[in-house]
Amino acid sequence: DAGVIQSPRHEVTEMGQEVTLRCKPISGHDYLFWYRQTMMRGLELLIYFNNNVPIDDSGMPEDRFSAKMPNASFSTLKIQPSEPRDSAVYFCASSLHSSTNYGYTFGSGTRLTVV
Amino acid sequence: AQSVSQHNHHVILSEAASLELGCNYSYGGTVNLFWYVQYPGQHLQLLLKYFSGDPLVKGIKGFEAEFIKSKFSFNLRKPSVQWSDTAEYFCAVNEGYQKVTFGTGTKLQVIP
């Protein structure tokens, strides 16, 4: 299996622009998570899905952030409009319900820089 | 709400020194505990996990961790570190639901 695949690896955008981050979970995994990592706040859970349905989006910082999972093999995290404080590494992770105790598999992350 | 504390933010050791990174969590019920490692520029990888049984768990690369329920702790140890262990280490706790709470991480720098 190729693991959790995220794209792009790096994104540099200007303030006010729309940014879309993409994630392909491991095939068969039914949970998908979006995390944001910054120096100041560490790893923060933004939102997670179960069977393509958003379960908990309490970590989404504000309405500028939105996430979708149109099918079991694809999810997006969108920021519109982007701001410099959104600069961070965004990780996607997936897991299989039947092995909830076994931890997540993380993607390689998208490093977002908003200038 | 569940919280995870890693009190050491930055640790510097010489090669062959012993390592112990502290982790404490707040939840008093049944928990599943994890340590993840993030090498420079890479994603998080699972180092080891505990969910039942022997409270001393062994992971990859010679790491181990001990679950002490009475102290709400899950400290990570390695008897002799190597330069290649330079990374950031995250403790994480799962209360039995899918939502995992991560600590703020400990950066380990091993000097050759």
* Range of lowest pLDDT (A81-90, B65-74, B91-100): B91-100
Q: What integer pLDDT is reported at residue A80 of this predicted model?
A: 97
C-alpha to C-alpha distances, B111 to B15, B73, B84, nearest whole angstrom: 6, 27, 10
How far does A88 lie from chain B, in Å, by closest CA?
13
Token output for A57: 């989006």
Query: CA-CA distance, B67 to B27, in Å (whole number)?
Result: 13
Q: Tell me the per-residue pLDDT of B99-112, one tens digit each, with 9 for 90 and over.
A: 788 898 999 999 99
Q: What are the residue ranges of helices labelled H in chain A? A: none
Q: What integer pLDDT is reported at residue A99 of this predicted model?
A: 54
Q: What integer pLDDT is reported at residue A96 of this predicted model?
A: 84
Please indicate whether, in this complex, the C-beta atoms of A108 and B43 are within 8 angstroms of each other.
yes
Token output for B103: 């600590």
Q: What integer pLDDT is reported at residue A100 of this predicted model?
A: 56
pLDDT at A26 over 80: yes
Q: Tell me the per-residue pLDDT of B88-100, one tens digit each, with 9 for 90 and over.
A: 999 998 866 667 8
Q: With cut-offs at 50, 70 and 90, classify the pLDDT of residue A101.
A: low
Q: With cut-offs at 50, 70 and 90, classify the pLDDT of residue A97.
A: confident
Q: Tell me the per-residue pLDDT of A28-42, one tens digit each, with 9 for 90 and over.
A: 999 999 999 988 888
Count the Cβ atoms, other than its own, within 10 Å of residue A96: 15
Query: CA-CA distance, B5 to B83, in Å (whole number)?
Result: 25
Q: What integer pLDDT is reported at residue B32 of this predicted model?
A: 87
Q: With cut-offs at 50, 70 and 90, classify the pLDDT of residue A78.
A: very high
The number of C-beta contacts closer than 8 angstroms across A and B is: 53
pLDDT at A102 over 70: no
C-alpha to C-alpha distances, B22 to B17, B71, B84, nearest whole angstrom: 16, 11, 20
Mean model confidence pLDDT for chain A: 91
CA nearest to B37 within chain A: A106
pLDDT at A44 over 70: yes
Q: Tell me the per-residue pLDDT of B7-64, one tens digit each, with 9 for 90 and over.
A: 889 999 999 999 999 999 987 677 889 999 999 888 899 999 998 889 999 998 999 9
Q: What integer pLDDT is reported at residue B42 of this predicted model?
A: 87
Please indicate whether, in this complex, the C-beta atoms of B98 and A48 are within 8 angstroms of each other.
yes
Please indicate whether, in this complex, the C-beta atoms of B94 and A108 are within 8 angstroms of each other.
no
Could you give the percent of chain A with pLDDT greater than 70? 95
